[in-house]
Amino acid sequence: MADAVDEILAQWGRERPDLDVWPMGVIGRISRLQLVLNRELKDFFARQGLENWEFDVLATLRRAGAPYELTAGALLKAAMVTSGAITNRIDRMEARGLVERVRDASDRRSVRIRLTPHGLSLVDEVVGLHTANEARLLDSLDPDDRDLLAGLLRTLLESLGDSSLR
């Protein structure tokens, strides 16, 4: 069974047989998979009335545990976007009643972002659906292959400097 990347590799093999293009097979498939998964997740979250990034913020706050809040800086680090982008996201989510800004009791200069009851209810409803959707997307892999793939991707990410969010 061949995929689009196999065709690309064959074309390079024909045009530049002097090159060892095996890395294109791995990187090309990861890149194409990212596009396909992003499209699938975008469609899924749209059906839930959310953007991907909104779920990301909601889930990050929910995982933080009660009282489901983090500093804007902690959200910024988790989201890997600019400070302007995280401010814009928080503004938009606050307008939707999903999060609220709360002054830190111990440091009045610091603002924490907290899930509202509506935001908490929404993320708790969607996270189970999201997990089921992701399982559907990976359904073609048997459990051993899923574990192997997760381990290989972890190794690659760690080798490229991607580590814990903390």
Tell me the CATH number at 75: 1.10.10.10
For the chain, give the mean pLDDT: 92
Beta strands (DSSP E) in the chain are 69-71, 99-103, 111-115
Q: Is 150 among the domain residues?
A: no
Residue range 8-33: mean pLDDT, rounded: 96
Which domain does 125 fall in, by range?
Answer: 50-138
pLDDT, residue 76, reads 81
pTM above 0.75, yes or no: yes
Q: How confident is the model at residue 166 (pLDDT cuts 50, 70, 90)?
A: very low
Q: Is 128 among the domain residues?
A: yes
Q: Is 21 among the domain residues?
A: no
Percent of the chain with pLDDT over 70: 97
Q: Tell which wins on pLDDT, 66 or 111.
A: 66
Indicate the burial class of 54 (C-beta count within 10 angstroms; 0-12, 13-18, 19 or more).
buried
Structural domain count, the chain:
1
Q: Is 153 among the domain residues?
A: no
pLDDT, residue 164, reads 65
Q: Is 43 among the domain residues?
A: no
